[in-house]
């Protein structure tokens, strides 16, 4: 491709050699390509990560990127890495943000940003760029990963620098710079999709009192329209990590894809919530996570057999912080990595299988089994047994309740 005079001499805002841009092929990132060349006099390498967003979003990307002025497009299939190294550790940890959010976008950003750092090294780039707005969480997630993995890279965030304020401005800029404007129909919602989930924000959802429209959902059917007959599933788990569905061993990405399809047709995994963004504001989002919802129920249920009371309590308390770190973009923070080592160790014996029933949006556990189960029928049974003598309970209660008894005696002057 021809290199413009601006590329040789520098741009309006300075000079960079080569920039790796997180690229989707949509209007915003298509406009960022010429903007980077004009303002930083640089070559632009577009990078697209396949994290399961769908094949339609990858069609014709190379032509779009080069038509926008990019020197090349790099596409990497990150689906297996995404599920194996990011989703499954969060699943094992039981990480849920603010009681509901299963961290779909939060987990995807660091795997994409890590790949961008790798591509920057491969192509000799001195900068990276993203199309995140200055109001959201994703700018933090991308940039903290860049800082952690290559602090020498320059980071360009056009939405924090340029004068473009909306879609019409972007279209005008594209036409001025001979950039083909994507002709895709503009969605009224802001969506993010990957193999784990699909999020919806914007339009009527910005008013928390509004019920989402039925036709908004894309990964799951309305529970009212789901089959009238329940479907049973058996999830096999090894050391806190899912490995099989109905006895069939699958790769991480294939396993999740299959559960998305099964859960989706039963209307499983819809969440509507108002969350606290990292940047301080509240936002309302609707999430579809059919496969993830099934897996969270399965892993958590198996832990009821394999972990004792105090271990579960400590694990649950750490899971809150773990989720907060992931949500805040601190995936490569030593604290999260240390907590992950704890989670891996504590779930070594969380191996077995869980049977679940899916029915009109609900996931019910119907059975669980593990070779490392701490449940003993001979102890738990109401029938008399040799290990547990019910008469021992009297002394235990007297000692356990002693502080309560002493306080009551003080209050009554005894």
Q: What is the C-alpha separation between 355 and 151, in angstroms, rounded?
A: 46
Q: What is the C-alpha separation between 311 and 363, in angstroms, rounded?
A: 25
205 closest CA partner among 216, 192, 220, 219: 216
Per-residue CA distances from 378 to 48, 183, 354, 392 (Å):
57, 68, 22, 17
Is 190 among the catalytic positions?
A: yes
Contact 355, 233 (CB under 8 A): yes
Catalytic hit among 50, 106, 138, 370: 138
Residue whose pair of structure tokens reads 């003080």 in the numeric block: 410
Question: Please, what is the Cα angle at 399 between 398 and 405, to 5 degrees?
Answer: 65
> Roughly what angle, to the nearest 10 degrees, separates helices 290-306 and 309-327?
150
Catalytic hit among 24, 28, 270, 284: 28
Per-residue CA distances from 362 to 18, 59, 198, 227, 268 (Å):
50, 35, 18, 12, 6
Residues sharing a CB contact under 8 Å with residue 392, sequence separation 6 or more, in sequence order: none
Is 129 among the catalytic positions?
A: no
For the chain, percent helix, then strand, then coil, each to nearest 5?
45, 20, 35
Q: What is the C-alpha separation between 323 and 97, in angstroms, rounded?
A: 5
Is 28 among the catalytic positions?
A: yes
Contact 82, 107 (CB under 8 A): yes
Catalytic hit among 37, 92, 109, 330: 109
Q: What is the C-alpha separation between 248 and 234, in angstroms, rounded?
A: 10
Catalytic hit among 4, 13, 190, 373: 190
Is 265 among the catalytic positions?
A: no
Catalytic residues: 28, 109, 138, 190
């Amino acid at each position: 491709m021809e290199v413009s005079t601006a590329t040789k001499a520098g741009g309006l805002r300075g000079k960079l050699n080569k920039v790796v841009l997180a690229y989707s092929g949509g209007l915003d990132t298509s406009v960022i390509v010429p903007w980077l060349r004009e303002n930083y006099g640089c070559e632009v390498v577009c990078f697209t990560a396949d994290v399961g967003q769908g094949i339609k979003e990858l069609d014709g990307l190379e032509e779009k990127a080069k038509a926008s002025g990019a020197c090349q497009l790099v596409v990497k299939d990150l689906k297996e890495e995404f599920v194996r190294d990011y989703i499954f550790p969060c699943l094992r940890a039981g990480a849920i943000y603010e009681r509901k959010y299963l961290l779909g976008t939060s987990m995807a950003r660091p795997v994409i940003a890590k790949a961008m750092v790798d591509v920057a090294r491969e192509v000799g780039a001195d900068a990276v760029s993203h199309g995140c707005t200055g109001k959201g969480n994703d700018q933090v997630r991308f940039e903290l990963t860049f800082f952690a993995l290559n602090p020498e890279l320059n980071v360009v965030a056009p939405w924090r620098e340029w004068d473009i304020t909306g879609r019409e401005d972007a279209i005008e800029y594209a036409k001025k710079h001979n950039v083909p404007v994507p002709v895709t129909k503009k969605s009224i919602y802001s969506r993010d999709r990957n193999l784990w989930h699909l999020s919806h924000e914007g339009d009527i959802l910005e008013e928390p009192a509004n019920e989402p429209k039925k036709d908004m959902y894309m990964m799951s059917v309305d529970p009212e329209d789901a089959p009238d007959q329940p479907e049973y599933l058996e999830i096999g788990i090894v050391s806190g990590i899912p490995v099989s569905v109905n006895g069939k061993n699958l790769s991480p990405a294939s396993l999740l894809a299959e559960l998305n399809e099964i859960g989706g047709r039963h209307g499983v995994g819809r969440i509507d919530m108002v969350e606290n963004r990292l940047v301080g504001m509240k936002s309302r989002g609707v999430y579809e996570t059919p496969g993830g919802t099934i897996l969270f129920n399965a892993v958590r249920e198996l832990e009821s057999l394999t972990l004792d009371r105090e271990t579960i309590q400590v694990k649950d308390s750490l899971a809150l912080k773990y989720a907060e770190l992931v949500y805040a973009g601190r995936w490569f923070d030593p604290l999260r990595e240390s907590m992950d080592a704890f989670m891996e160790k504590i779930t070594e014996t969380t191996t077995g299988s869980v049977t679940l029933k899916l029915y009109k949006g609900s996931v019910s556990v119907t059975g669980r089994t593990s070779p490392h189960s701490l449940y003993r029928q001979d102890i738990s049974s109401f029938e008399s047994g040799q290990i547990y003598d019910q008469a021992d309970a009297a002394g235990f209660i007297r000692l356990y309740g002693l502080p309560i008894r002493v306080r009551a005696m003080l209050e009554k002057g005894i």
